[in-house]
Each structure stands twice: as structure tokens, then as C-alpha cells.
Chains A and B, each alone.
Chain A
Amino acid sequence: MRYIEWLLLFVFGAVGIALSNFIGYGAGFMESLPGLLILMGISMTAVFCTKVIPVRMPVIAYCSLIGLTIASPISPVRETVISYVGAINFTAPFTIVGAFAGMSISNQLKTFLKQGWKILIVGLLVMTGAFTGSVIWSTLLLKISSLF
């Protein structure tokens, strides 16, 4: 995708986030705007990074690392960033993802229903194992280092 396409799509996406933040949490558009601009800025920078840095790393890893950096104590804009982005509720960016995700799998519905209960069981076990294993492993790591 071209940069301009990314930007345009992020803007359209931001409208969806603003809608969620407004209807779900009563935060007005103007209230959400600065936070949304920051999130779009980070996302665009992350896209830029994936294009210029020749390491195979997913775009969301850059989003996370850039967000972490500009909100960490080494950042001069830390307080501003935290307070503006704080106006965007945690689950607000999340609803439009669901809308896209739902549409993107809508042509698999018949396959899903046809696959039957056996695949469903295997899929559920895979998810159960991945999450539970991850939590058990985290518990062990945290215990070993006796942090919490």
C-alpha cells in the first residue's frame, strides 16, 4: 500500500474509533481528536518503519514499541501523550476491528458450519492450550523471578 492509502485508511478507521468512544463512553469527537491524531501518527510511523527497516518484524510490533517509547520517561512529550490518549477508552478502537474481522471471515461461514464438530473441538483445544500454557508459563517465570 502507498503511504497515502495507509493514511487515508487510518483516518477512516479513526472515525470509527471516535464513534465507539462517543456512543460507548460519551466522549465527544473533539475530546477524542488529539488522542486519535497521536495514535494515527504512531501507526503511520510504524508503517514507515516496516518499509525502511529491513528486519522482518510485524507492523504492530513497531506500533507497540513506538507507543512505549513516546510514553516512557525518556520522552519529552510523555505527559501530553498519556493524557490525550487516555481520553480514548481501552476497548474503543476495538469495535471497528470486530466489524472488519467479521466481514473478512464472512465468506468462510459455510466452510465453518460444514467443518463440523471435530475441527471445532480441535480448534477449541488449540486455543485453550495456547492461552492456558501461556498463563502457566508466565506464572512460572514470575514465580522464578519472584516479582509479584
Chain B
Amino acid sequence: MSGNKKTNYVYKNVRERVKTEWVIFALAYVFVIIAEMIGRKDFKIGAGMFILFPIFYAIILGIISGPHVARIIKEKHVKAASGLVIIGICPFIAKLGITAGSNIDIIIKTGPILLFHGFGSLLCIFLAMPVAILLGMKREAVGACFSLNREYHMALINEKYGPDSFEARGSLSVYIVGGMIGTIYFGFLATLVSMTGLFTPEALGLGSGVGAGIMMASSSAALSAIYPDKAETIKTLASAGETIAGITGIYMYMFIGIPLCNKMYTILEPKLSRFSLKKDF
């Protein structure tokens, strides 16, 4: 077994990995230091608050360091860095799990409804699909609108339609938008939605668990800052929601998300396409 498996490793040995990846870690440390020194900035907007967390500066510094701007890191580092995101996410989620465990009474109280968590995210299809068609998208819209289009969502689309399909192109486009501005936007969104006053901090916390770790982290951090005395509850429910969404999400999008998106497309496309803008992407 080991003989077969060894050929699949990205690096021949650990030393080779360190030789390639030390640059990424060195830079990451520098970015962490800069980002933390700038620190958290709060901006009051009316009754609400827009919060900039150090992670946002770290993302921007990361993007700037890349092959399109400062060219400090090369293409091979970019690829390696995407594998390292999980290295940072794991301890973060473990910590959230511990927060959830220490407030297990909230989880138990919420218990049965947690099993139904996650379906709300499908609203993205209804909101985005009509606009996507009006903007001139064709089959790309199915890939673009069916989910948040994080890595595992893209994998689903690639599996179903193939990586060269129009659907996969749509999926990739939204994936890139999410990567560039998703984290910042989720923090902002959480603030805006909370300002409507229609939702309880508990619902906002649970709702933050959308199956995208970094986005959940951003919105729950913003919410915790807005409702400091509910922070523990928010983090606990966000963690529980995220865990459930991470497990059931794949199946939800496979069996409901993609078919629903297809259905929406076949219904809306004939009706809306004559009002559509010219396709130019």
C-alpha cells in the first residue's frame, strides 16, 4: 500500500516541502505581525458598526505579494499556499468546537433543529439566478448561483459537468469573487443584516454557519463584537451550524442545490433572456 501511495505525495520528502514552503511561512509571519500591529478598527455606522479585523489586511497583503503585483511569491508558492489554508483553519475550528463543547447546554437545547440547519443558504439561487440571466449569463448561471462556490462546491460542479463546462466556468468566477472579497463582505453583511433588527443574535450566529469556514469566522467575529454579551452564544451556534453545514452541505447541494438551480434556469431563461444584456464574459 505504501509503495502505491507514495507516488501521490506532492513532495518527495519533508525537507523538500520545507524548502519550497518556508518562504510562504516567513511571509505569513510578516503579514501577521503587520496586520496585528494595525489591529482591529471599528467604524460606527448609525446604530451599527463596521469592523475591520487583522485578517482583512493579511488577505490584502497576501494578494499583493503574489505574481500579479509584487511578485515576491511565484506560481508554485501560490499553489502551496492554497493547501496551507486548511492548516490555519483546523486549529480555529477546533477552538470553536471547544467553545461549543463548553456551552453544550445551548447545543442540546438547540439539538433537533440543528439537523435541519443549512437549507436557508439555498436562497442564493433565488436571489442571484434571475439577475445572472438578466446580465446575460447562460449555463454559467447554474454553476455561479447554486451555492457559495467554495472549493467543495466547485468540486461538485466539476464532477457533474466537467471542468471545461460553462457551468464550471460560472462556478469558478464566483469562487474568485468569494476569495477576493468574501471574507470582508461577510463581516459587512452580518453587520448590515443585524442592523435591520429583525433577527436575534442567536439566529444570526446559527445562520453564520453557511459551510464556508473563513466566511463564518468573519461574520461571527463581527457579530460577537456587535453583541459582546451574547458572544459565547453566537460563537457556539456558529460553530454548530458550520459543522452541520460542512457535513450535510455536500449532499444538500448535490441533491437539491444543483437540480433546483437547473429547474430555475429552465423556467426563467426563456422568460428573461429577451431582456438580457449581451453576453460578454
Residues of A participating in the B interface, judged by any CB pair closer than 8 Å: 1-2, 4-6, 8-10, 12-17, 19-20, 23-24, 36, 38-40, 42-43, 46-47, 56-61, 63-73, 75, 78, 81-82, 85, 88, 90-91, 93-112, 115-116, 118-139, 141-142, 144-145, 147-148
Contact = CB atoms under 8 A, between A and B. Distances in A.
Nearest to A143: B203
A127 B148 contact: yes
Contact of B135 (A122, A142, A145): A122
B131 A125 contact: yes
Contacts of A5: 11, 14, 17
Given A61-B243, A72-B104, A112 B200 contact: no
10 closest residue pairs by CB, A with B: A102-B62, A106-B66, A67-B97, A133-B123, A137-B120, A71-B101, A123-B177, A135-B207, A129-B124, A98-B58
20 contacts: A13-B91, A24-B40, A39-B95, A46-B94, A57-B247, A63-B91, A99-B62, A106-B65, A109-B69, A126-B147, A126-B174, A128-B127, A129-B125, A131-B190, A137-B123, A139-B207, A141-B116, A141-B206, A142-B203, A148-B200
A42 B97 contact: yes
A67 B95 contact: yes
Contacts of B120: 133-138
B182 A127 contact: yes
A116 B281 contact: yes
Contact of B32 (A20, A120, A142, A145): A20
A99 B88 CA distance: 10
B243 A138 contact: no
Q: Which of B32, B122, B135, B210 has the most CB of A within 10 A?
A: B32
A60 B101 contact: no
Contacts of B75: 107
A144 B114 CA distance: 12
A31 B32 CA distance: 19
Contact of B58 (A64, A81, A95, A120): A95
B113 A147 contact: yes
Contacts of A9: 21, 84, 87
B38 to A, nearest CB: 10
Contacts, number: 446
Contacts of B113: 141-142, 144-145, 147
Contacts of B9: 1-2
Given A88-B95, A104-B78, A112-B180, A98 B100 contact: no
Contact of A70 (B89, B91, B98, B208): B98
B218 to A, nearest CB: 8
A95 B59 CA distance: 8
A145 B55 contact: no
A139 B193 CA distance: 13
B178 A123 contact: yes
A6 B102 CA distance: 27
Q: Which of A5, A15, A103, A136 has the most CB of B within 10 A?
A: A103
Interface in B58-103: 58-69, 73, 75, 77-79, 81-82, 84-102
B262 interface: no
B128 A129 contact: yes
Interface stretch (B23-31, B42-50, B265-273): B23-31
Contact of B199 (A69, A82, A105, A135): A135
B54 A131 contact: no
Nearest to B206: A138
Q: Which of A66, A72, A91 has the most CB of B within 10 A?
A: A91
